Amino acid sequence: MKKNSFVQGLRDGLPVCLGYFAVSFAFGIQAAGIGLTVFESAAMSALNVTSAGQFAALSVIAAGASYIELAFTQVVINLRYFLMSCALSQRLSPKMPFAHRFGIAYGVTDEIFALSVTHPAPLPPAYSYGLIACAVPGWVAGTALGAAAGRLFPPLLTNALGVAIYGMFIAILVPPAKENRAVAVVVLVSMALSAVMTWAPALSGISSGFRIILITLLVSGAAAALKPISEEADADAP
Amino acid sequence: MRPEILLYILVMAAVTYLIRLLPLTLIRRRIESRFLRSFLYYVPYATLAAMTFPAILTATGSTVSAALGFAAALILAFSGRSLMTVAVCASVVVLVCELVMPVLPL
C-alpha cells in the first residue's frame, strides 16, 4: 500500500466528509423519526453508504414492507453504482491484486466515484482507501449525531454544508469541460435533461436514481456515437 | 439491535454491495470496443452533471441561498480553484446568505 496515495486520498476526501456529515445528519434525524435507535441508524449508514438508498429504505421500513420490496427499491435507486463500477473497472491496473476490488467496491458512492475518476489511471487502491477512511466516518458520525441530537441543532449549519458536495461536483466538472468541447456538451445536456425530468409534470414521478441512469445511458451513448474518443485522449481519460 | 431491523439493514447492504461489486470483479480486462470505451469515458460527466442540477437548488434552506452557492461554486471552479476551496466557499456563501436574508427588508 502506497502511503502517499493513501494520504492524498485522505486529503481529497475532506470535502466529501463535510458534505456527508450534513446529509447524514438529516438522515439521522429522519431515522430517529421512524423509531430507529442511534446504533441502528449508524449501522445502516456504515453498511450501506448510499444517501438516496437509505432515505428510501426508511419509508420502506416504516411501512413495514417486505424484504423483497426493500431489495427492489435498492436495486432501482442504486443501479447507477453499476455504471460507475463499470467505468471504474477500466481505471484499475490489471496487475492489482484481485482482493482490492472487494475493498474498492465498498466505496463506490457518487462522491468517492467522482474523486476516483479524476485520479490519473491506474487508480491505486490506497487512494480509494484514503477517500473511504476520510469520508465514511463523516457519514456514520453525522448519522449518529443526527439520530441522537438532531432536533437540538439549528438547521443553518447543515443547510450550508448541504451545498458542499455539489460544489465539489462542479469543481470536478468544470476544468475538463473547459478543455474538451464534447465533455462540455455532455455536461450541459445532462443538466438540461435532468431539469426537464425533475420539473416536467409527466416525468417528475421518475425516481432520482432512475432519472440519473436514464440520462447517463442516453447522453453518454449519444456522445460515444457522435464523438468517440481518440486513442490519445483514451490514455489520460478523465 | 432488533433482529427485524438488522435483517432489513443486511438485505439492503447486500443488494447495494453486489451492485457495486459485480462490474468491478467481472470486468477485469481492458474493454476493446471503441464505442464502449467512449461511452464509459463520458459516464462520469453525464452522471455528475445530472446529479448536480437541479438538485443543488434544493440542497439548502432556500432556493435563493442555493442559487447563490451554485453561482459561487461555478465562478470559483472556472477560475481553477481546488475541490475543497470550491466546496467550502459555496457553503460559506450559503451560510452568510441564510444569516443575512431574514434581517433584510425584502
Inter-chain contact A166–B70, Cβ cutoff 8 Å? yes
Picking from A128, A161, A194, the residue at the C-terminal end of a domain is A161
User: Does any CB of chain B come closer than 8 Å to the CB of residue A142?
Assistant: no
CB contact under 8 A, B11 and A81: no
Residue A52 in domain: yes
**Main-chain phi, psi angles of A152, to 5 degrees:** -85, -15
| Record: contact B40-A220, CB cut-off 8 A | yes
* pLDDT value for A159: 78
Q: For the segment B10-56, what is each residue's pLDDT rounded down to a tens digit? A: 999 999 999 999 999 999 888 888 998 899 889 888 988 998 899 89
| Chain A residues closer than 8 Å to B98 by CB | 156, 159-160
A93 shares its domain with A146: yes
Question: What is the total count of domains within chain A?
Answer: 2
Residue A169 falls inside a structural domain:
no
| Inter-chain residue contact B94 with A163, CB threshold 8 Å | yes
Residue A80 lies in a domain: yes
Among the residue ranges A59-63, A160-164, A174-178, the one predicted with the least confidence is: A160-164
- The answer to whether residue B103 neighbours chain A at the CB level (below 8 Å) is no
3-state secondary structure string across A196-233? HHHHCCCCCCCCHHHHHHHHHHHHHHHHHHHCCCCHHH
Structure-block grid coordinates of residue A93: 491496473
Place of cell 448510499: A50
A90 with A238: CB under 8 angstroms?
no
Question: Of B37, B47, B55, which has the smallest distance from its Cβ to A229's Cβ?
Answer: B37
Is residue A73 located within the same domain as residue A126?
Answer: yes
Of the partner residues B34, B47, B56, the one whose CB lies closest to the CB of residue A80: B47
C-alpha grid cell, residue A157: 449549519
Q: Is the CB of A80 inside 8 Å of chain B's CB atoms?
A: yes
Distance from CA of A207 to the nearest CA of B (A): 12
Report pLDDT for A233. 53
| Residue range A168-178: mean pLDDT, rounded | 88
Cβ distance A14 to A164 under 8 Å?
no
Question: Is it the case that residue A150 has pLDDT exceeding 80?
Answer: no
- Domain co-membership, A26 together with A78: yes
Does the residue A175 lie in any domain?
no
Closest residue by Cα to residue A101 from A118, A120, A116, A119: A116
| SS3 letters across chain A | CCHHHHHHHHHHCHHHHHHHHHHHHHHHHHHHHCCCCHHHHHHHHHHHCCHHHHHHHHHHHHCCCCHHHHHHHHHHHHCHHHHHHHHHHCCCCCCCCCCHHHHHHHCCCHHHHHHHHHCCCCCCHHHHHHHHHHHHHHHHHHHHHHHHHHHHCCHHHHHHHCCHHHHHHHHHHHHHHHHCHHHHHHHHHHHHHHHHHHHCCCCCCCCHHHHHHHHHHHHHHHHHHHCCCCHHHHHCCC
Give residue A1's pLDDT band: very low, low, confident or very high (50, 70, 90). Answer: low
Question: What does each C-alpha distance from A44 to A22, A36, A141, A168, B8 come to in angstroms?
Answer: 16, 10, 12, 25, 9
Residue type at A8? Q
A157 and A184 share one domain:
no
- CB pair distance less than 8 Å for A61 and B42: no
Where does the pLDDT of residue A27 fall: very low under 50, low under 70, confident under 90, or very high at 90 and above? confident
CB–CB of B87 and A165 under 8 A? yes
For A:198-217, CB contacts with B below 8 A are 198-199, 208, 211-212, 215-216
Q: In this complex, is the C-beta atom of A186 within 8 Å of any C-beta atom belonging to chain B?
A: yes
Give me the pLDDT at residue A2, please: 63
Three-state SS letters, B14-77: HHHHHHHHHHHHHCCCCCCCHHHHHHHHHHHHHHHHHHHCCHHHHCCCCHHHHHHHHHHHHHHH
pLDDT of residue A129: 96
Residues of chain A positioned with their CB less than 8 A from the CB of B39:
220-221, 223-224
Determine, yes or no, domain membership for A237: yes
Burial class (CB in 10 A: 0-12, 13-18, 19+), A54: buried
Judge: B27–A178 Cβ closer than 8 Å, yes or no: no
Q: Are residues A195 and A145 in the same domain?
A: no
Collapse the DSSP code of B83 into the 3-class scheme (helix H, G, I; strand E, B; otherwise coil) and give the result: helix
Chain A residues whose CB is inside 8 A of the B80 CB are 175
Range of the domain at A216: 180-238
DSSP 8-state secondary structure symbol assigned to residue B80: T
Residue A94 lies in a domain: yes
Determine the pLDDT at residue A238.
Answer: 46
pLDDT given for residue A91 in this prediction: 93
Residue A58, amino acid: L
- Could you give the percent of chain A with pLDDT greater than 90? 53
Averaging pLDDT over each range in A15-19, A56-60, B11-15, which range is the top one? B11-15
Is B50 part of the contact surface with chain A (CB cutoff 8 Å)?
yes
Domain boundary among A161, A195, A211: A161
Torsion over CA: B47, B52, B58, B61 (sign) = positive
- Looking at the fold, whether A136 and A70 belong to one and the same domain comes out as yes
Nearest to B47 by CA among A12, A130, A51, A79: A79
Q: Check whether residue A138 and residue A189 sit in a common domain.
A: no
pLDDT digits (tens, 9 = 90+) for B75-104: 999 999 887 788 889 989 999 999 998 888
Q: Could you report the per-residue pLDDT of A79-135, keeping only the tens digit for each?
A: 889 989 999 999 999 889 999 999 999 999 988 999 998 899 899 999 999 999 999
CB-nearest partner of B42 from A98, A211, A223: A223
Look at residue A154 in the predicted model and tell me its pLDDT: 73
Q: Is residue A174 a part of any domain in this protein?
A: no
Selection from A123, A127, A173 nearest residue B47 by Cα: A173
CA A121/CA A113 separation, integer angstroms: 13
Q: A24 or A195: whose pLDDT is higher?
A: A195
The distance from CA B102 to its chain's CA centroid, rounded to whole angstroms, is: 28
Q: Is the pLDDT of residue A157 over 90?
A: no
Residue matched to cell numbers 427485524? B4
